Structure 1
Amino acid sequence: MHVKMDMNDTTRHGSEFFKAAHTNDTISMKALLTSEDFDPYVRGNLEETILHSALFNGSKEIVQLILDRIPSLINEPMTSDMYKGETPMHIAVLKQDVEMVKELLNRGADVINARATGSCFVPGEECQCYYGEYLLSFAACIGNEEIVRTLIKHSAPLDAQDSLGNTVLHVLVTHSDKKQKYSMYDLITSLVSEKQQPSLENIVNNDGYTPLKLAAAEGDLEMFNFLVQKQKKIYWTMGTISYCVYDLTNIDTWGDQKSVLDIITTTRNREESYQTKEDYLRLLGELITIVGALVILISEILYLYKIGPKNYFGNTSIGGPFPLLLVCYSLLIAVAVIMRIHADAGEAVPISFALIIGWCNTIYFARGFKTFGKFSIIIQKLIFGDFMHWCCLVFICIIGFTFAFYLMFQTLNLADYPYFRDFSMTLRTIFELMMGLMDIPLPYNKPTPNNIYIAYVMFMLFVYLLLLNLLIAMMDDTYWRIAPETEELWKIQIAATILLLEQRMPAFLKIRSGVPGRSLGFDDDKWYIGVEEILPETEGGAGISTQRYSQNIRWDVVRRNLGKIINMKDSSESTIL
Structure 2
Amino acid sequence: MELQAVQLRPFLFLLLCFPNLWIQTLQYVTTENVVIMSIPHQKSQSAFNLIRETPSQKNPILKAVSEGDVLSLTRLLNEIEALSSVFADKCAQDFLMCRLTSQDTGKTCLMKALLNINEKTPQIVRILLSFTEKHGFLDSFINAEYTEENYKGQTALHIAIERRQNIIVKYLLDKGAKVNVRAQGLFFNPRCRNNGFYFGETPLALAACTNQPGVVKLLMENSKTNVTIQDSFGNTVLHALITVSENGKPHNTFIINIYDKIIRNCKNKFLERMTNNEGLTPMQLAAKTGKLEMLKYILNREIKEEENRILSRRFTDWAYGPVSSSLYDLKDVDTSSQNSILEMVVYNTRIKNRHELLALEPLHTLLQMKWNKSARYMFLMSFVFYFAFNVIFTLLYYRARGDEGLILLNVSTRSGIFQLFGHLFIVIFASSLIIREGVAIFQLKPSDLQSVVSDAYFHLLFFLQAVFAILSTLTYMCGVQEYLIFIVIAMALGWANMLFYTRGFQSLGIYSVMIQRVILNDVLKFLLVYILFLLGFGVALASLIEPCAESEQCGSYNSFRTATVELFKLTIGLGDLEIQQHSKYPILFLLLLIIYVILTFVLLLNMLIALMSETVDKISKESENIWKLQRARTILEFEKILPIYFSDIFKLEEKCKFSENDIRQCIRINKVKWTEWHNEVTCAYEDDNVSQSNESVCSSVSTIDDTDLSKRKEHTTIQMKNEEDAFMETAF
Higher relative contact order (CA 8 A, sep 6+): 2
TM-score, structure 2 as length reference: 0.39
